[in-house]
Structure 1
Amino acid sequence: MIATHWPQLGVLSNDNLIPAVERLVHATAKNPAIKYPQIGQSFHKFPSYLRRAAIVFATGQVSSYITRYRDWQSGHSRNRRDAQPPTLNADSGCYPALYKGQCFKLHGFEQVEIKVFTGTDWVWITMPIVSKRERHLVATNQMKSPSLIVNDRNCHLSVPFECHPEKVKGSGLVVAVDLGINTTATVSVVSRDGTVIHPEFIHPGRYIDFRDQRLRSVSKRAKKTMGKGGRLGKGFCKNTYRKCRNINQQIRHLVSKRITMIAQAYSADAIVFEDLKGWKPKGGKKRSNLKQRFHGWLKSLIVELTPRKWAEWGGKTVTVIAAYTSKLAYDGSGLVKRDKQNYALATFSSGKKYNCDLNGSYNIAARGWQKLDSRKDYEKRRA
């Protein structure tokens, strides 16, 4: 309907567009003869705030479609001569906010009442809250109006929070994280004088095996499809790759959550990561799977998500230079040698054997303390 009347509606401002659309679909005492009465007949007693939210969403969809169609007509968005014109997708998911007292009533964090349309009337239904996260536990967080997300499988409430956390006071400890291939994340809680309070290896091996098993099946299917030569079609094994991406998302959430929990438990001054931006993997020996394993390295995903979660608790994250964090011994004895049979094992110049990832996390912690102290000195000089 909005697309049909777009020549008249598209030139209006946002303040004038919603009333103009309502005059077409909503009957009132001053406007009894509307052009599209079937909308009011299908949704009896349609709440005004939901109707206006639907109008704003539909207007955005039509405006986007018109813009893309004009670009296609002018040739700016045509990558090929046979490029098809864009289509208007009406089913793209509109989830308006539910206002407190009018659309939902929260009973603690165990049950919630939601006002829904049964086909004939709007009624209240009570639903249990099966699972929830930790944002409601922070006293300074302010809950906003949720949205009811509905898909083919289930429905859930998406509840945004406005976070104003208090800064972590700090207990003289940092959480240093070494991101590796053999072990997803090696975490060390280190004090200012170098005392290691808590080392931990985080490696969700079950999910990594699930992902690698699916990726191995792709290579087998590719060999059967191509044979000795040929090319793979567009979208080959796209569902398998989609599942692998989802598994990677699950792994990064698990690892980042555990790192944040460790930092929270020890009231860490900061979480320290290596700065690996722009780092590109190098292939190993011939017929080695090292390059393939590097492609499954989730360094960027974990570093991207962990600061967001830690910032909600009032903590800060710093990055340090990654050069020689694993090549140098944490005790200052010089370069280390990697074991050819077990690359995760390092041998110091003194003959001492140690886990290479733990050694790297200790060096990251030392550089983290150096960076934090230099920041404090700079702030003092400015003050």
Structure 2
Amino acid sequence: MKTPTKVIRTDKWQLNPTPDQKILFGDTIKVYRHACRYLVGIIYTHWAELGCLTADQLTPAVERLMHQTAKRPNVKYPQFNKTFYKFPSYYRRAAIAFAAGQVSSYVTCYSEWQSGTRKRRDTKPPKLNADTGCYPALYKGQCYKLHGFDQVEIKVFNGLDWVWTTVQITGLRERHQVASNKMMSPSLIFNERYCHLSVPFNCKPEKRKPEANVTAVDLGINTTATIAVVTHSGTVIHREFIHPGRDIDRRDKRLKSVSVRASKTMGKGGKLHKGFCSKTYQKCQRINNQIGHIVSKRIVEIAEKFNSEAIVFENLKGWKPKGGRKRSNLRQRFHGWLKAKIRDFTEMKWTELGGKIVEVVAAYTSKLAYDGTGIVKRDSKNYALATFTSGKRFNADLNGAYNIGARGVIKLTRRNDSESRSSKRPGRPPRSWACLCDLWVRDNLRLA
């Protein structure tokens, strides 16, 4: 029996601290990071005996080295209790877990480097980074106490002692309202820009009873995503075009400004310095993320509305764009194609609802007519239009979405379908190149 995949999703709970609380949060994170650096050294020194232990065994083993108690007055590193006076036990255990992860990662990477597993021949060896920007994990009852969902009480360091402070929660998501979701230990994120709790949830979606249809997605250049909901009998019950043009124009306008600034900086020759226009590229990356979330959210809404069995994508992994005609911007437009981002964001959202993602062969999805009349001819002036051999003009992306949906249905029902055509039959295209008309033929054979 297949073990269900663990679905972990994180919500951001915005906090509204007072100026005094901001100082307390800053001091807390500062002393916590100091403790992590201290523990990294201890754990790395004794990694030979600590590395073979499980997570439950490692924490008490490290504590036996550095944490003095009444029953254990003599430890190898007594300076820890003196340096971090009254350091809470659950903060200490969170710091041990983080430090052990840092050391384990370093040891693994260094072993791979020694064995010759390197991206480049002159790759330098990895370094053990003890000075990381980590944030404390909060354990319920010991490090934080929730008062409804309006206030949270957090244990903080005031410079002399560890005290409780109550801070207002000003922003929530909705995952805490789902009864099947289990809230895990949050982390306190605080710096010059942010102050929030990063709250992970173990999501357990309810078992679905889907309808006999799939939501097919064709990711394109002219239209960001073209959606078609296709039933098992080949009926298209919904179609939609998703294209956040305003956000795409904002991104492209910024990218265009980079080339203008580059030409002014370099002139006819020369090189750009490292990090040239890095802020602009970061802004464009954030816009791309926003576009990905907008499109993926709408795809999941459609699939949820029609209670689809799966969301179907083309398998575009490893696909590389080809350049267009001379002086065309086709290659640049392909770089703005968010095929992987939209697919990944959709999978994250849909999996949380208990849905399934199906990938089909991308070959000839837009090239073959959905009605089985053969290869279509794309319009030279308007590439979004396709002309069938019968003279019919149709949207090329929508035609591709129909065929993607058909291939998804066949892939889902192949085990129970004895009528599906054989891929070895001479004179016929492979079964993976199915079109929407193949569902019509199959449905007619069943009814006959």
TM-score normalized with structure 1 length: 0.83
The one of 328, 345, 352 aligned to 1:305: 345
Secondary structure of the 1:128 match is strand
Map of 1:116 onto structure 2: 155
The correspondence for 1:178, drawn from 211, 214, 218, is: 218
CA shift for structure 1 position 296: 1.1
State the distance in 2 between where 1:279 and 1:74 align. Answer: 31
Q: Which has the higher contact order (CA 8 A, sep 6+)?
A: 2
Q: 1:65 to 1:21 in 2, by over 3 A?
A: farther
Q: 2:292 aligns with which of 252, 258, 279?
A: 252
Distance in 2, matches of 1:329 and 1:99, equals: 58
- Alpha carbons of 1:311 and 1:226: their partners in 2 closer, same or farther (altered >3 Å)? same
Pairs within 5 Å for 1:284-303: 284-303=324-343
Letter in 2 for 1:252: G
CA spacing shift, 1:280–1:100, aligned 2, 3 Å: same
User: What does residue 83 of structure 2 align with?
Assistant: 39
Q: Are the equivalent residues in 1 in contact too, given 2:40–2:102 (CA < 8 A)? A: no
Shift of 1:49: 0.9
- Partner letter of residue 79 of structure 2? K
Asked if the contact 1:211–1:247 (Cα under 8 Å) also holds between the matched residues in 2, the reply is yes
Q: CA deviation at 1:195?
A: 2.4
Q: How does 1:12-161 map to 2 (within 5 A)?
A: 12-13=49-50, 14=58, 15-23=60-68, 31=73, 34-35=78-79, 39-41=83-85, 45-58=86-99, 60-61=101-102, 86=127, 88-96=129-137, 98-108=138-148, 110-117=149-156, 119=158, 120-133=161-174, 135-161=175-201
Question: Structure 1 stretch 66-75 or stretch 235-244: which is displaced more?
Answer: 66-75
CA separation of 1:114 and 1:183: change in aligned 2, threshold 3 A:
farther
Aligned partner (choices 363, 375, 381) of residue 335 of structure 1? 375
Instruction: Provide the alpha-carbon RMSD of the alignment.
Output: 3.4
Residues 300/123 of structure 1: CA separation in 2 closer, same or farther (3 Å cut): same
Match in the other structure for 2:312: 272
- Distance apart, 1:132 and its partner CA: 0.7
Native 8 Å contact 1:260 1:306 kept in 2: yes
Does residue 356 (structure 1) correspond to residue 396 (structure 2)? The answer is yes
Aligned equivalents of 1:299, 1:271: Cα separation in 2: 14
Distance of aligned partners of 1:7 and 1:334 in 2 relative to their CA distance in 1, 3 Å threshold:
closer
- TM-aligned CA distance change 1:225 to 1:172, over 3 Å: same
Deviation at residue 174 of structure 1 after TM alignment: 1.0
Inter-partner Cα distance in structure 1 for 2:101 and 2:84: 21
Query: Which amino acid counterpart does residue 223 of structure 1 have in structure 2?
Result: S
Q: CA deviation at 1:326?
A: 1.1
The CA deviation at 1:273 is: 0.8
Given the alignment of the two structures, is residue 346 of structure 1 paired with residue 386 of structure 2, yes or no?
yes
| Counterpart pick for 1:233 among 273, 278, 295 | 273
Letter in 2 for 1:115: I
Alpha-carbon spacing, 1:242–1:86, altered in 2? closer, same or farther (3 Å): same
For each residue in 1:332-366, what CA deviation from the matched residue of structure 2 results, as whole angstroms up to 9, or x when unmatched?
Answer: 23332222222112223333322221111111111
Give distance in 1, aligned partners of 2:341 and 2:95. 35
User: What is the CA–CA distance in structure 1 between the aligned matches of 2:222 and 2:202, rounded to whole Å?
Assistant: 38
Maintained 8 Å contact 2:44/2:103: no
In structure 1, distance between residues paired with 2:362 and 2:109: 44
Letter in 1 for 2:89: S
User: Following the alignment from structure 1 to structure 2, what is the Cα–Cα distance between the partners of residues 176 and 69?
Assistant: 44
SS at match of 1:177: strand
Give the aligned partner of residue 381 of structure 1: none
CA distance in 2 between counterparts of 1:111 and 1:301 reads 34
Match of 1:314 in 2: 354
Assess if the C-alpha contact under 8 Å between 1:167 and 1:315 holds in 2. no
Structure 2 runs not aligned, ≥5 long: 1-37, 51-57, 419-448
Give the conservation status (yes or no) of the 8 Å contact 2:358–2:408.
yes
Shift in CA distance, 186/70, structure 1 to aligned 2, threshold 3 Å: closer
Give 3-state SS (helix, strand or coil) of 1:281's partner: coil
CA distance in 1, matches of 2:97, 2:222: 50
What does the per-residue CA deviation read over 1:249-308, in whole Å, with 9 as the maximum and x for residues that have no partner?
222222222211211111101111111122211111110000111111111222223223
For residues 270 and 220 of structure 1, the distance between their equivalents in structure 2, rounded to whole angstroms, comes to 45
- How many Å separate the matches in 2 of 1:78 and 1:373? 42
**Matched-pair contact (CA < 8 Å) for 1:186–1:201:** yes
Give the TM-score of the pair, scaled to structure 2: 0.72
Map of 2:11 onto structure 1 = none
> Shift of residue 186 of structure 1?
0.8
Counterpart of 1:211 in structure 2 is 251
* Native 8 Å contact 2:43 2:100 kept in 1: no
Distance in 1, Cα, partners of 2:352 & 2:365: 29
